[in-house]
Each structure stands twice: as structure tokens, then as C-alpha cells.
């Protein structure tokens, strides 16, 4: 498995990246978009293993102000996820030479992926996977973010995050916390982008997600412009790829392979039986 950790310069700023597996010339690329407090290293070995299991390449990046990327100015605007999905992510995909991609977004990263998929021409996009994505603001989300602020000030959250974000720790945390808790964020909503999604989609969430309810999945299924498969995981909070790693990995792998290798008499958009046994599941055309 080939790995290359480096930086890409987008709009004059350095973004930390890690690449695994085949080059974009040889295979589709899985593009990983991290959560509101995440970065390249917090994905651990999950991207590399999923790339190896699917034959894809993988590109993982830290957004501005996260990980080893350049810092960003604060406060972040309420529309920071819109800016990422409509401006930075298309620039990154182009700069990385990606010809075909499947986006895999966790939490804020999932929301950014939805904005990209539904709000841009998204020419290289083959499919979309989200974990714990938000398409509107909920009270449970804001309360959990307030609790995170208390843990950052008075608990060990800051020291835990510093291991991954180094000099960007305060930038990463307060940029995320401050934007979500801005008074205008209660009206934040991405549902307008859902009808524009024209690729197969897998949406995953934990039943005990402290940052969002199943209403997020319901909105995605109801309004997306293409097939959505959903997986609701028991005994799982906000991070399925860590808290239910095996089931999340298997679901993603099966979904990706179904996109890359449909039989000639069954197009990608054709209805098929769910592959996710033992958990709550739904299919939507």
C-alpha cells in the first residue's frame, strides 16, 4: 500500500493531505472529509484499509485550521461548510488530479459532501457516503456542542485534541464551536441541496448519536434526488467508523463495490436488496 503525506496549496493556503493506493489515473479515488474536530490523522488506518479492500485510491485532507494545514482566521462564518463544499473541495479535487471520486464525509464533512454533490456540477463524482451528517440544525446538536465547550475549557478535551491539531488546536475547536453556536446558526439548512444529488448515496448514523437524531436521515431519504441507502447502527454514538468499525467498514466496502462493478443488465441506479443485515435499514429511490 503506497502512502504519501504532503500538502496541496488551494487558494494560496496549504492543506495537509495523505494519499493511499492507486493513483487517480489508475482507479477512482475515495475522498475523506473529516468531522468538525477531525483531521487526517484522526481517521487512523480506516482510509488505507478501505482503499485496499475496494481497489480504489484514497485522498484524506485536513481542512484549513485543522491538523497540520495552515491556520484560518476566526470566527468562521456561519456558511463555512457552504464555502468548503462549493469552493475549496472542487479546487482540491482538481488540484489532486482526481478523475472519478466517491466522497466519504463524517459529521460536518458529510454535510460538506452533500453541498458539493447537490450544489456543483460534480462531474467526477460516482457516489456519496455520509456518517452522522447534518442537513439542518437541531437542539440536541447545539447542546452537545455547548457541552464540548465546557469539556475543552475545564476537562481533558483540549489536551486530547492537541495531539492531532498541534498549533491549530484552538483554531480548530473555537472555529467549529463558535460557528455552530452563533445565533444565526439555528436557521442553517442544507435541504435545498438534496434534490441535486444525482449519484447513489449511503447514509450511516448511530442510534445513540449525541449530535443529531434520525430526523436527519429521514430528511435525506425523503428529499435526495437519487437512491439513498441508510444504515442505523445500534450501540453507536457520533462516530460509526470507530464505534461500530466492522459494520461501518463492511457497509462502505459493499456500497463502493456496487458502484464500481454493476452487472451489464443492472445499472447503478437499479434497486437491489440491502446488504446490511442485523441493523435498521431502508432503501429509497
C-alpha 265, offset from chain centre: 31
Q: What is the pTM of this model?
A: 0.90
Give residues with Cβ within 8 angstroms of 248, minimum separation 6: 131, 204, 231, 233, 240, 241
Q: How many domains does the chain have?
A: 1
What's the pLDDT at 280? 44
Residue 217, domain extent: 3-284
pLDDT tens across 184-211, in order? 999 999 999 999 999 999 999 999 999 9
- Domain CATH number, residue 109: 3.40.50.1820
Are residues 229 and 185 in contact, defined by beta-carbon separation less than 8 angstroms? Answer: no
Taking the C-alpha atoms of residue 129 and residue 184, their distance in angstroms, rounded to an integer, is 28
Residue-wise pLDDT for 40-91, tens only, equals 999 999 999 999 999 999 999 999 999 999 999 999 999 999 999 999 999 9
Q: Which three cell numbers stand for residue 76?
A: 468562521
What b/e readout covers 66-94, taking b as 16+ CB neighbours within 10 angstroms? bbbbbebeeebebebbbebbbebbbebbe
pLDDT digits (tens, 9 = 90+) for 165-175: 999 999 999 99
- Helix (H) / strand (E) containing 229: strand 228-233
| Helix axes 157-165 and 139-154, enclosed angle (nearest 10) | 90
Amino acid at each position: 500500500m503506497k502512502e504519501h503525506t504532503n500538502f496541496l496549496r488551494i487558494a494560496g493556503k496549504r492543506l495537509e493531505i495523505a494519499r493511499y493506493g492507486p493513483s487517480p489515473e489508475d482507479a477512482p479515488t475515495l475522498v475523506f472529509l473529516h468531522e468538525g474536530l477531525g483531521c487526517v490523522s484522526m481517521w487512523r488506518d480506516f482510509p488505507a484499509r478501505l482503499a485496499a479492500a475496494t481497489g480504489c485510491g484514497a485522498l484524506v485532507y485536513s481542512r484549513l485550521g485543522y491538523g497540520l494545514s495552515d491556520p484560518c482566521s476566526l470566527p468562521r462564518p456561519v456558511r463555512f461548510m457552504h464555502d468548503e463544499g462549493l469552493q475549496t473541495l472542487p479546487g482540491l479535487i482538481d488540484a489532486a488530479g482526481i478523475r472519478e471520486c466517491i466522497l466519504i464525509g463524517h459529521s460536518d464533512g458529510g454535510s460538506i459532501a452533500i453541498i458539493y454533490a447537490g450544489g456543483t456540477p460534480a462531474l467526477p463524482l460516482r457516489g456519496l457516503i455520509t456518517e452522522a451528517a447534518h442537513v439542518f440544525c437541531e437542539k440536541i446538536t447545539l447542546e452537545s456542542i455547548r457541552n464540548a465547550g465546557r469539556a475543552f475549557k475545564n476537562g481533558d478535551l483540549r489536551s486530547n485534541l492537541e495531539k492531532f491539531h498541534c498549533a491549530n488546536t484552538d483554531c480548530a475547536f473555537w472555529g467549529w464551536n463558535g460557528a455552530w453556536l452563533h445565533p444565526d446558526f439555528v436557521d442553517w439548512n442544507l435541504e435545498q441541496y438534496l434534490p441535486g444529488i444525482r449519484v447513489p448515496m449511503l447514509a450511516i448514523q448511530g442510534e445513540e448519536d449525541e449530535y443529531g437524531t434520525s430526523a436527519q436521515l429521514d430528511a435525506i431519504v425523503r428529499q435526495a434526488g437519487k437512491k439513498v441507502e441508510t444504515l442505523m447502527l445500534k450501540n453507536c454514538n457520533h462516530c460509526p467508523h470507530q464505534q461500530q468499525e466492522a459494520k461501518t467498514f463492511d457497509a462502505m466496502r459493499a456500497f463502493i463495490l456496487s458502484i464500481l462493478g454493476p452487472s451489464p443488465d443492472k445499472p447503478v441506479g437499479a434497486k437491489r436488496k440491502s446488504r446490511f443485515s442485523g441493523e435498521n435499514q431502508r432503501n429509497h429511490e
